[in-house]
Amino acid sequence: MFSIKTLFPILPLMTVSVTTVNAWASDNHTCALTQPIYSCENSTQIVDTCCTPIQGLVLVTQFWDTYTGLEDQGSVLPKDSWTIHGLWPDRCDGSYGQYCDLSRQYDPVPSPNTTTGKSDGTPVPAWTGGDVITPLLQQYGKYDLLAYIQKYWKSQNSPDWTFWQHEFSKHATCFSTYDVGFEGVPDCYGSLYQNSTEASIIDFIQSVIKSQIQYPTYEWLAENEIKPSNQTGYKLFDIQNVLTQKSGGEPYLGCSGPTKQVLSEIWYYSHSLGRPQDSFLKPINQTTKSNCNQTQPIWYYERSQGSEY
């Protein structure tokens, strides 16, 4: 645990508050005085990397799963809603980093297991300390965030917290606006929490939710009579068109199965006005190309019996 005694053993005034201690570490990165600019539109204008992400191609990503695999433990999917995958920091050219700050590694099953995904990359050690996010949100009274992610941020075949911590450690650590001072980068946080790592975790979860609720994929499709069906397939073009019109940019649609006909995920691309924390996202078109089958019907399957509530 964080302790003032161990960090500052010779400090004479033991009444000094945690707030004061952390205020010294603050580098004035509130961003309140920084004119927000759009990420990836003119990188030379970024003066504070806490205030505009260098990794400014911001992806809001979601899944359409038909089961969780842990139904017998009470884990079910939210009715009439896609589920959260994450909020990803791609670089402006479409490439991306992963596990960028190993001091914030809470993923029990790192995937890939090195920072480059290759055997010569830096190994990403498996986290063995269990669920960090649930107790943290409880400790700071963020029960609304916790309830939301318990319902909408669902893992498949593993407990949900493992997936939250995977997304945080793999992706959030690569966004410059959630930096906490690792290897010379700034510490974007002040004195709000016990330590900046805690601040960045809670901040990221809040950002994930704020961005996700701007993209109600299920409703957008349903309004246009595209509803889950095990009888009728849809044209990729029709799905793509609805979501492009509704979101304002052409998203990436991901399909699974041997012939890529099973609709399973979506990535919405955007540029962020200032910090992704503030969720002013300007939609842009995908920078890649959907992998779904262009010629065959696309299956937007109904959930399995007993898998949604």
Ligand X SMILES: *[C@@H]1O[C@H](CO)[C@@H](O)[C@H](O)[C@H]1NC(C)=O
With CB under 6 A as the contact rule, the residue among 17, 19, 35, 45 that binds ligand X is: 45
Of 149, 156, 264, nearest to 207 by C-alpha is 149
Q: Which of the ranges 42-50, 183-191, 219-227, 263-271 carries the binding residues for ligand X, by CB under 6 A? A: 42-50
CA 270 vs CA 85, 167, 240, 249, 251: distances in Å: 16, 18, 16, 8, 10
Q: Based on CB atoms, which residue is closest to ligand X, 213 or 256? A: 256
Per-residue string for binding with ligand X, 63-102, x by CB under 6 A? ---x------------------------------------
CA distance 202 to 213: 17
Q: Which of the ranges 80-88, 93-101, 167-175, 289-297 carries the binding residues for ligand X, by CB under 6 A? A: 289-297
With CB under 6 A as the contact rule, the residue among 195, 214, 224, 256 that binds ligand X is: 195
CA 229 vs CA 34, 66, 133, 298: distances in Å: 48, 11, 35, 10
Residue 259 interacts with ligand X (CB under 6 A)? yes
Q: Is 223 part of the annotated catalytic residue set?
A: no
Question: Which residues have CB under 8 Å from 71's CB, separation 6+?
Answer: 306, 307
Closest approach, Cβ 177 to ligand X, in A, equals: 18
Residue 27 interacts with ligand X (CB under 6 A)? yes
Of 139, 283, 140, nearest to 211 by C-alpha is 283
With CB under 6 A as the contact rule, the residue among 81, 191, 244, 287 that binds ligand X is: 244
**Active-site annotation holder among 29, 41, 166, 171:** 171
Q: Which of the ranges 77-85, 155-163, 169-177, 295-303 carries the binding residues for ligand X, by CB under 6 A? A: 295-303
Q: Which residues of 167-194 are buried (b: 16+ CB within 10 A; e: fewer)?
A: bbbbbbbbbbbbbbbbeeebbbbbbebb
Closest approach, Cβ 302 to ligand X, in A, equals: 4
CA distance 164 to 151: 12
| Site for ligand X, residues 132 to 161, rule: CB under 6 A | 132, 136
Q: Based on CB atoms, which residue is closest to ligand X, 26 or 214? A: 26
Q: Which of the ranges 49-57, 88-96, 270-278, 301-309 carries the binding residues for ligand X, by CB under 6 A? A: 301-309
Q: Which two tokens stand for residue 22?
A: 């952390």
Closest approach, Cβ 266 to ligand X, in A, equals: 15
Cis before 159? omega within 30: no
Closest approach, Cβ 235 to ligand X, in A, equals: 13
C-alpha radius of gyration, the chain, whole number:
21
Question: Which stretches of 128-235 are DSSP H helices?
Answer: 133-139, 143-152, 160-170, 196-212, 217-223
Asked if residues 123 and 113 have their Cβ atoms less than 8 Å apart, the reply is yes
**Active-site annotation holder among 29, 41, 71, 85:** 85
Residues tagged active-site: 85, 167, 171
Residues that bind ligand X (CB under 6 A): 2, 27-28, 42, 44-45, 66, 113-114, 123, 132, 136, 195, 197-198, 230, 244, 250, 259-260, 285, 293, 295-296, 301-302, 304-305
